[in-house]
Structure 1
Amino acid sequence: MDSKIVLITGGSSGIGKAIGIYLTKKGFTVYGTTRNLKKYPDFTEFQLLEMDVREPQSVNRAIDVLLEKENRLDVLVNNAGVGITGPLEETPNKEILNAFDINFIGPLNVIKSVLPQMRRQGSGLIINITSIAGYMGLPYRGIYSATKGALELITESLRMEIKDFGITCTCLAPGDFATNIAAGRYHAPVNNDSPYKESYGKTLNTIDQDVDKGGDPEEVAKKVLQIINTKNPKVHYKVGALLQKFSIVLKKVLPDTWYEQLLLNHSKK
């Protein structure tokens, strides 16, 4: 059989680009997506398609281009996403809706577009890139946590719905990795007259430090390859620092208020 065809949304930078480069080196035929192809005239690592996951027509056009070239799609990596921080009270609804549009509705748009082809093939693998933040409500990152938590849950549902068609769905939750996510993240400003000024300011600084100290995104790429090569993938996977993964275990065993205090202590360190 020819090399597997892989589509990675949000493949022009960060974790998506790292996954694409790694899988290309391993012999896969990789397509990535970006909202604006004109920004990447010299991109040569793998093939890029123009796609805005928020727009079903844009998604369908990109999938049509891919299928016209390859006539199949073996793996979808739903990676496109956006960061968002801020006190809930001070975060504009427009930005909240945009985060859900990109992080939750966007992946669903792509899934809906690729399922008919995977069903015709009788095979396919969908990997939804979520976040360890999706397992817990983090202060000043509640919207981001909610979008990723929603994607984790919908993965569980979808997995059961498509099982009879030979298609598998799973999710991979990364912790903090050194990427440029902060550059594209919406963050509510730290206003001098805000009641959240001190607390939010400290938390925002901690968030940026955690990303800067994050691991190599290739770790995520290696985990994606492991999932692709697994005969019967699990529902949930995590990748990241041991303490970040252990935080999910702690949530299961600690009283809620104790766990809440741990999160507060970390965010204000």
Structure 2
Amino acid sequence: MSKVVLITGASSGIGKSIAIFLSEKGYKVYGTSRNPKNIENYPFNLIALDVLKVDTITNAVNFIIDKEGSLDILINNAGMGITGPIEDTPTDEMRTVFNTNLFGAVDVMKAVLPQMRKQKSGTILNVTSIAGYMGLPYRGLYSATKGALETVTEAISMEVKPFGIKVACVAPGDFATNIAAGRYHTPVFDNSAYKDNYQMNLDLMNAHVSGGMDPIEMAKAVHKIIESKSPKMHYKVGGFLEKISIVLKRILPDRVYEKMLMNHYKL
């Protein structure tokens, strides 16, 4: 029988690419969106789920289990971006991105685990970010949420392993998606001490996304991971410079690495 997959945030971007690819590979895919529209345009089931609303998570998971009798794979992809100088960014917006990227992902895991424990099998794959391996200027809060999810992945993997459940995370770099459209941008305030550097880095971030990799590469990577009998804990999918930056962070002195990043971002 086809394995049943739940993919959060599947109406566009990386999530949609993964959902289409896995559907073509014979998986029974349920993608989610906060407000599903034009469902007939998707070659997979698109159902309502908002990671900020636990009742919608519960309803979606119960709907899939009632219909399919199982839930084999969770791909925790839903998330949002945030940019801005930490001093200028409203704290409430910081809380929203943590609630979405970290606690939302945790709540979805909590919802699927009872069924996976009952089955004595299951795979959870959390989509994080290469940005989560380092504090990046004007993206510090986004980096923090994704770094936190990487750490939670390590912890929960050990907790659920006795039940036959596998947990891993995959960190994408820059991909050509519409992520910038859903990102919270702290305004470039005229009286901000960070005005010029922030604007320059906003332009740089958008250029990186526009020139990013094709999301199909993430879909292929995810397929390979969930097909693995013994997946690794951490996967990275990105360009050479993005991957090597993680290695350099491990081996360089902190201030040397900081200077390298500041040169890169023209600070």
TM-score by length of 1: 0.97
Structure 2: segments with no counterpart, 5+ residues: none
Q: Corresponding residue for 1:186? A: 184
Secondary structure at 1:89 match in 2 = coil
Q: Corresponding residue for 1:15? A: 14
CA distance in 2, matches of 1:174, 1:44: 23
Q: Corresponding residue for 1:123? A: 121
Residues 59-88 of structure 1 deviation map (CA, whole Å, 9 limit, x = unaligned): 000101111110101110000000000001
TM-score by length of 2: 0.98
One-letter amino acid of the structure 2 residue matched with residue 167 of structure 1: I
Q: Corresponding residue for 1:3? A: 2
CA distance in 1, matches of 2:185, 2:223: 33
Residues 175-214 of structure 1 mapped to structure 2, 5 A cutoff: 175-214=173-212
CA distance in 2, matches of 1:201, 1:267: 11
Using the TM superposition, give the Cα deviation of residue 94 of structure 1 relative to its aligned residue in structure 2, in angstroms.
Answer: 1.4
- After superposition, the CA RMSD in angstroms is 1.0
CA distance in 2, matches of 1:98, 1:191: 21
CA distance in 1, matches of 2:219, 2:32: 16
Using the TM superposition, give the Cα deviation of residue 43 of structure 1 relative to its aligned residue in structure 2, in angstroms.
Answer: 2.9
Counterpart of 1:86 (choices 74, 79, 84) is: 84
Residues 99-138 of structure 1 deviation map (CA, whole Å, 9 limit, x = unaligned): 0011000010100000000000000000000000000000
CA distance in 2, matches of 1:143, 1:7: 27
- 8 Å CA contact 2:128, 2:172 repeated in 1: yes
Query: Which piece of structure 1 moves more, 139-148 or 42-51?
Result: 42-51
Residues 12-161 of structure 1 mapped to structure 2, 5 A cutoff: 12-37=11-36, 39-161=37-159
Q: Corresponding residue for 1:171? A: 169
- 8 Å CA contact 2:39, 2:46 repeated in 1: no
- 8 Å CA contact 1:206, 1:268 repeated in 2: no
CA distance in 1, matches of 2:162, 2:38: 39
Residues 30-78 of structure 1 deviation map (CA, whole Å, 9 limit, x = unaligned): 11000012x3344322101100111111100010111111010111000
Q: Corresponding residue for 1:226? A: 224
Structure 1: segments with no counterpart, 5+ residues: none
CA distance in 1, matches of 2:11, 2:42: 10
CA distance in 2, matches of 1:254, 1:234: 25
Displacement over 4 Å in runs of 4+? none
CA distance in 2, matches of 1:212, 1:86: 19
* Aligned: 1:253 with 2:251: yes
CA distance in 2, matches of 1:42, 1:200: 41
Residue identity (%): 57
One-letter amino acid of the structure 2 residue matched with residue 92 of structure 1: P
